[in-house]
Structure 1
């Protein structure tokens, strides 16, 4: 049996349990002992963080060789066309090498919570939303990918990792699950616990 916690990490929260500078971190939202994040989410990004007490599962979720799909909602500057997005679908080259092909589509603004502080926008420049799925975990990869096509990321929310999503979780809320077979994400059952601690 493996324990899993799905957390909707708020903006400007560190994806670790301690911080010498006193910044908000996972300890402010998760009080379950013995769980650790499976992968990271940047301080200035929001959305799904998976924590688990099972080392094998942690590796399966976070290791690049596992090619675990991660889906993001991305607010970008400007109005990219389908042609603009094509390099991301083919596999765009960044300064640390060629990315795997991504799945990307223009979407309507998702039904999400307001960010505090809000995204700074310029009246003369529109913004757009993308749904983007990748199977890598390079440093600030999504932000670098959208910048490379001329549409910098303004807001980044991780909506899904594998089969797990942030559906039904407000910022700071978590849900706890237990699974019987860490090698098979589809075989899971358990209970949910929700908390809503906000910054």
Structure 2
């Protein structure tokens, strides 16, 4: 058997897809940092020859670029898309955004902090992170503007909402469910300046269930 077919059931490159390499690289990035995202490490974890890597990527730098693309397409998009969703009130919009950070909302907190750690070591990643943060805050600013807030207030409230969530994740708060629920109404009120409807409180509570 010649060509790619000879690897069908062995350790060859055809045994694993591009997504397999990316998933393994993402897991390594999150758990061990970018310094351990190496071709030799990944091939060992996939139990395949290093040559298989080059069927899918030009170089390690190419793989790292794909990881950044994945992060932008998941984490940044989760926030920008949720901020753009139609809602009758600003509180409902805030709940849309908040649910993107929780459960199955699409935002991967561990990946976000892995990228932030990587950015401390790479100027290009730092630039990508800054651009992403600006895009996220811009989407939140526009969300407040659509609900009638003037430009300056919308800019500040967008930043408060974003920085509050990032800070909450960084501190890794361990609130029990009862405490969390007791604060939901007040969180929405303080972030929006408006009294939230009970349906918004209930929807956010449901999204934050463990």
Q: Same fold (TM over 0.5)?
A: no
Q: Output the TM-score relative to the length of structure 1.
A: 0.25
Highest Rg: 1 or 2? Answer: 2
| Structure with the higher fraction of residues in strand conformation | 1
| Structure with the higher fraction of residues in helix conformation | 2
Q: With CA pairs under 8 Å and 6+ residues apart, which has the higher RCO, 1 or 2?
A: 1
Q: Output the TM-score relative to the length of structure 2.
A: 0.24
